[in-house]
Homo-oligomer: A and B are copies of this chain.
Amino acid sequence: MSSLIDPRVLKGFRDFLPEQERERQGIEATLSETFQDYGFVPIDTPVLEYTEILLGKGGGETDKQIYRFPDHGGRDVALRFDLTVPFARFMAAHVQELYLPFRRYHIAKVWRGENTQRGRYREFTQCDFDIVGVDTPSADFEILQVIEGSFRALGIERVRIHLSHRGVFNRFLSRIGCSGSGGEVLRIVDKLAKAGEESVRSMLEEVAPRESVGDILAFVRAEASYEATLDKMTRMAGGEGEDTERLKLLRAYMEELGVSRRFLLDPSITRGLDYYTGIVYETFLDDLPDIGSICSGGRYNNLAALYTKAELPGVGASVGLDRLTAALEELHLSLAHKTATEVIVLCLDDSLVGHYHAIAARLREGGLSCEVFPQKRKLASQFAYAERKGIPIAVICGADEHARNEVTLKDLGSRASNEQVPLVQAADAIRAMRQRPEV
């Protein structure tokens, strides 16, 4: 006898069992519908790309984490590690065939050989949405609105979107003479929520003059209101500019649409990456503050500069689907339809198998999802199967019922039966039984 192969998956990878997969698909469908409601269209790109394209100038953490190998033709290829770089390459390749402004979304898997100790997966799903080709307050606001609308569609009302503007921060840093270490300052300040003020203070003291550190900490503190914070930022940055004007306009739009309470001007939000040039934001759930930002992004100057001379300013955001799924589970919010299969036709008699399939076909025509138990087994074990799968209604039909063209319906929750139901009325009767608990 040959030895068995252990059916294990790679560390950091996982299977999705039906309940989890249905939940994930429900979340993806809800987000897709929201994006489409705002005029966003879906795209897809290859999982495998030239490494040169994915790493660009390279040099970061990504280089170490990327899954990279020579393919059959000796090409240096790699699995995508995010959806932003492939989108940049996509826009450079297709900008002539498309139209601008271009609103796209992309929900797909990405891979990073990260340390799984931190509870991270090496295969995970990202959900990105961007508006490319314009740099206006209207586009900035729209992305904020889509974030807010997405969470509302998911059933999460208690959400807070923290936003700031990299331009204001840069003006402030230049004014206090810290432009040189600006990148480091931004990355340190980005840790404020997690690490706390004291820890950030000592980190800052290593990269900035002692007298500036107090200023920086004062700048990044959120004040009592959006207006007060904006006043402080404007003052410390040396007065008004296009950047503060944009933050003011965004506030006006929020007021006009009655969504202000969802937004917080928070100058400690910097999004570590050099990439961003305008507004930046992170999204936190009031009921699960510890899981961190669940949707982040911002405005960038030039998406595809590595691949094309076409200037493509844009604004976008990215949702970590795995973190979001975990959050919804903790909040007991389910996006999967409660029941996958609504009805099961049991198998009492092998000579009636064709009839069982005909009953199921009729119920499907009546709009019910319905499966046929595919072999004769003890009724108890067929019921056990149905309960395990969460099917609420069973259809029972023996030779007598078949002769009278009737069925018996059984509610597997309450155990109530509905006998001698004419087959033509079965779909209606099932719908009536399913509504009963709510009456």
Contacts and interface: CB of A to CB of B under 8 A. Distances in A.
Contacts of A353: 136-138, 141, 249, 253
A77 B113 CA distance: 13
A432 interface: no
Nearest to A38: B371
Contact of A15 (B10, B38, B94): B94
A416 interface: no
B4 A308 contact: yes
Nearest to A388: B99
Interface in A123-166: 123, 131, 134, 136-139, 141-142, 145
A17 to B, nearest CB: 6
A358 B257 contact: yes
A321 interface: no
A222 interface: no
Interface in A13-66: 13-18, 21-22, 24-25, 32, 36-39, 41-50, 52-53, 56, 65
Contact of A7 (B18, B46, B123, B307): B307
Contacts of A77: 10
Contact of A67 (B9, B71, B255): B71
Interface residues of A, number: 106
Copies of this polypeptide in the complex: 2
A90 interface: yes
A325 interface: no
B49 A9 contact: yes
A30 to B, nearest CB: 14
A388 B92 CA distance: 19
B50 A8 contact: yes
12 contacts: A4-B307, A7-B308, A8-B53, A15-B46, A17-B97, A38-B371, A47-B111, A65-B72, A72-B113, A101-B375, A252-B354, A257-B361
Interface of A: 4-11, 13-18, 21-22, 24-25, 32, 36-39, 41-50, 52-53, 56, 65, 67, 69-73, 75, 77, 79, 89-90, 92-94, 97-101, 103-104, 109, 111, 113, 123, 131, 134, 136-139, 141-142, 145, 249, 252-253, 255-257, 304, 306-309, 340-341, 344, 347, 353-358, 360-361, 364, 369-375, 385, 388-389, 391
Nearest 9 Cβ contacts at the A-B interface: A39-B371, A69-B69, A18-B41, A256-B354, A13-B46, A7-B92, A16-B44, A139-B374, A7-B307
